[in-house]
Every structure is written in structure tokens, then in C-alpha cells.
Amino acid sequence: MSIKKTSLNNLHIKHGAKLVVFAGYQMPIQYKDGIIQEHKYTRSHSGIFDVSHMGQLFISGGDDLTNDLEKIFPADLKKLKTNQSKYSFLMNNKGGIQDDLIITKTSDGFLIILNAACKYNDYEVIKSKLDNQYKLNLDESLSLIALQGPEAKNVLNKVIPGCDSLKFMNGNNHVYKNEKVYITRSGYTGEDGFEISIKNSDAETFVESLIENGSKLIGLGARDTLRMEAGLCLYGNDLDNDTSPIEANLKWAIPKSRIETEFVGSEVLKNQFQSGVKKLRVGIKPDSRVIARGNTKIYNDKNQEIGKVTSGTFGPSVEHPIAMGYVDNSYSTVNTKIFLEVRGKKIPANICNLPFYKKNYVKGEINV
Amino acid sequence: MSEVKYSKEHEWIKLDGEEATIGITKHATEMLGDIVFAELPEKGSNVDKDGTAGVVESTKAASDVYTPVSGEVIDTNQMIVDDPSKINEDPEETAWFFKLKIKDKSEMDSLMSKEEYEKFAKETSA
């Protein structure tokens, strides 16, 4: 399979990116400043992330679309207003997560943002579950640019005036160079920010104008440290086919109104809601500077294995190693002492609250 | 007059009499990215040529540090443990890793000169 490039590939190279292959795409892992500086710039000013490798799936056509999508996703799509977004999951029959995604109601249907590594499979699964009744378009003529950080609203407003009125997890159509762009206020760094869906041919000039207004390109390396500090999951690391949203501590994303209804995996989830789960995703803070990365084994004080780290790094803003992973439910309480096996040694650590870094989202309407 | 040599694992070694100072090269730090953790061998321990004698971790990954020669660890640089970012700042001078009392000076012979290492680094990173 040939390696794909996003419409910003030349710009990445021009800005000194170190390129790696991620989910079949040539992507920047970092630029000249390096991961820590890029991370801190996003937290203090604003960072531009090329997330064009992610899938933008548009589904439209037919009055029953909302009903039929609710048979797939555990989100309350009937209550969703036009331009409103929700975090949800594509699950298998065992309640395992096949992908985590954002669903936005558009004027004529829904837009679903999918993880790059899952998007083609998701497309086939969703298409087949919808019995080919609707129009599905995994639109690769569009780029997706995330702008994140406390200055994101000011920078974006200079390039596309009016977008700062958007509320968190809401979107709208805007115009850039006489072309329609779709902007949502969302992101995955723990900062206020936006995701801009824009024609491939306009993406480079758009990003250049963000840079001219003070923002900087940020690579996948800092995207990973930012999302970890924000306590957010990375599909493939922290979420997979054998892990349910309840086990992943993402119960909040399944509204109460949907628990008794049917969707793919609903039997398993209903059961887990009632009887609890054996393993649970937790935040982990090592006592020392030692970093416990994915697959590090977790032990209790009796030297019994109780779980596994799924993501771990050094958090540049919290200035300490951070990790998340799954432990036997009886060890999931905050401040429980655990031990991480790193290079043959048992490193003391504590279960801690997520996120490691406090969010700065601009709140919209609260839907209970 | 001290002698400086380089290993294929991207360590530098400076020999003064029987005392060798060892660290990682600037090229190594550029490949690793921002270093956020360093672990050093214990003072008084013996390390063998090409064996593991420490660890550095960047935001991305962990890498072993090897010793290019055998000897007894006589000193370690606490500064880089307390502030690993010093390794990125000054890898070939103040941010050395450990000092050895060298066991066999002939182990220096198989290591590379500065010119040879620069050529090697350029070829392997291309």
C-alpha cells in the first residue's frame, strides 16, 4: 500500500517537520522546536494540528436516519440540535470499542469524525448496518485542521471573523476565500479550540494565515502528550475491541436515556451498568521521574499483577511523568498505592484523578 | 593531553590517564528529541564494554546508554538526573553521564575518531 500524504505535506516539510508514517499517512511527529516547546506553546498560545488523516464521514438521505443511527451508536441523536456534536462509540456486539468518534448533526444529516486507522473499516461497518439505505461519503477532498489553545479563538477570528461565538461542542458553516468551511469548537488537547473542515486546495493558505497570526504547527508527538495530560484516550492504546466504554471510564458519554434502548453492544453495556466491571481505566502518577509507557505491568503491594499501563509519558505542563491504564476494579480508588514494573524494577505509583491538567473549555449549553 | 573517541551507539568517551568520562553525542540528542529522564549506573559498580550503563528517555521513547569500555564507575553526574534537559543543552561537555576507572586502555582502539564518527552519524541517519 502506498503511503498517503495530506494536503499540508509540503508545508510540514517547509517548517522542518520530522515525518513518520501514522495510520498509512506521512505525518509530522514534531517540527524544529521539539515536542516540549510545541506542547507548551499550545498551552500558552495556540497550536495548529494537521488531522486530515482522520475520516470525515457525511451521512444523509431519509427520514429514518436518526433512528437507524441510534441503533448503531449509544448517543442521544434525537435530542441533538443542528450543529451540535457528541462524543460516542462504534461498538461490536460484545460492547468492545471499534472506534471512538464525534457525531455532529448537520443540516441534512450527520458528520462523523473517525480515527484515521479505523476509518475505512468504520465506513464498511456503518454502511452495512444501515443496509445501504443512505448516502455515505467518506470525503477525502476535505482537510481537517485543529487549532488549539487559549489564543485559538483570537487567531481564528482574524482569519475567519465570527467563529469565536461558537460554543463548545457546537459547529457552524463559515466562509473562507468564498468557499464554505465547517468549523466546530472542539479538540483533543484539554484546551479551548476549533476543528476546521476545509477544501484540500485551500488548506495550505489557510494554515499559513494562522501562522502569520501567531500560531505554530504542532506535531503528533505533542498532540500525544497534550491529550494524555488532558486524560483523553487514544484509540489503539487506551481503547480497543476488547474494552467497553464502561471499562474505559467513559460512562458519561452514554446518556441515561439510551441505557434501556437497543444499539450495537447494548446488552453487554446494560449488564455492566448493573453489575459493574472487572477492570477500569485510571490515571496513574509515578512517585519518581521514571516513565511507565504502554504495556508496563501493574502490581499491588503483594506483588500480584493487577493491570497494565496503556499510555504513559512525561507531561511537559505538569512537569511529571503521567500514565493511564487498566487495573482490577478493586484497585481503582484514587490514592491506591500500586507498583509499575519498569526495566525489571518495581516503581511505586498512585492511582490519581484524571485529567492531569485542568481543562479550559468554553462551556456551551449543558444537556443532562 | 586527553583523547576523545566515539562509539557506534552514539556515546563519546574522553580519556585522561586512567579516568574516562562518558556521555552521549549531540547527534544522539538530536535523534532522541527532548530528554526528560536519565538513569545512571551506581557508583562503585563495574560495567563491561558494550553493556548497558544507563537509560535516557525522551517524550517519545526510552533508549539504553551503553558503555564503550569496561571499568569501575567512580563518579556520576547528578545534574542530569535532576534536570535531564541539560543533556539536550550541552551533551558533550557539562552533561556527561559517568566516569570510569578504565580497565583496559586497548578497548579504546576499536572506537571511532571524531571524523570517523561524524561520517558514521551522517551515513546512518540518512
> Domains plus CATH for chain B?
3-115 (2.40.50.100)
Rounded (5°) CA angle B29-B35-B41: 90
Chain-chain contact of B60 with A35 (C-beta, under 8 angstroms): yes
Q: Is the pLDDT of residue A364 over 70?
A: no
Look over chain A and give the mean of its residue pLDDT values, rounded to a whole number: 95
The answer to whether the CB of A85 falls within 8 A of the CB of A169 is yes
The domains located in chain A, with CATH, are 1-231 (3.30.1360.120), 278-352 (2.40.30.110)
Query: CA-CA distance, A296 to A302, in Å (whole number)?
Result: 17
Chain-chain contact of A221 with B33 (C-beta, under 8 angstroms): yes
- Nearest C-alpha in B relative to A36: B34
pLDDT tens-digit readout, A98-155: 999 999 999 999 999 999 999 999 999 999 999 988 999 999 999 999 999 999 999 9
Q: Is the pLDDT of residue A365 over 70?
A: no
Query: Which residues of chain B lie closer than 8 angstroms to A289, CB-CB?
Result: 36-37, 81, 84
Please tell me the distance in Å from A201's CA to the nearest CA on chain B: 32
Please tell me the distance in Å from A314's CA to the nearest CA on chain B: 6
Query: CA-CA distance, A86 to A294, in Å (whole number)?
Result: 28
Q: Is the pLDDT of residue A211 over 60?
A: yes
- What pLDDT is recorded for position B18? 94
pLDDT tens-digit readout, B51-69: 999 999 998 889 999 999 9
In a mutational test of the A interface, the residue from B34, B64, B80, B88 whose CB has the highest number of chain A CBs within 10 Å is B34
- What pLDDT is recorded for position B45? 97
- What pLDDT is recorded for position A367? 33
What is the DSSP code string of A329-346? GGG-STT-EEEEEETTEE
β pairing state of A142-148 and A193-199: antiparallel
pLDDT tens-digit readout, A53-83: 999 999 998 889 999 999 999 999 999 999 9
Q: ipTM > 0.90?
A: no
Q: How confident is the model at residue A97 (pLDDT cuts 50, 70, 90)?
A: very high
Query: CA-CA distance, B33 to A216, in Å (whole number)?
Result: 18
- What pLDDT is recorded for position B1? 63
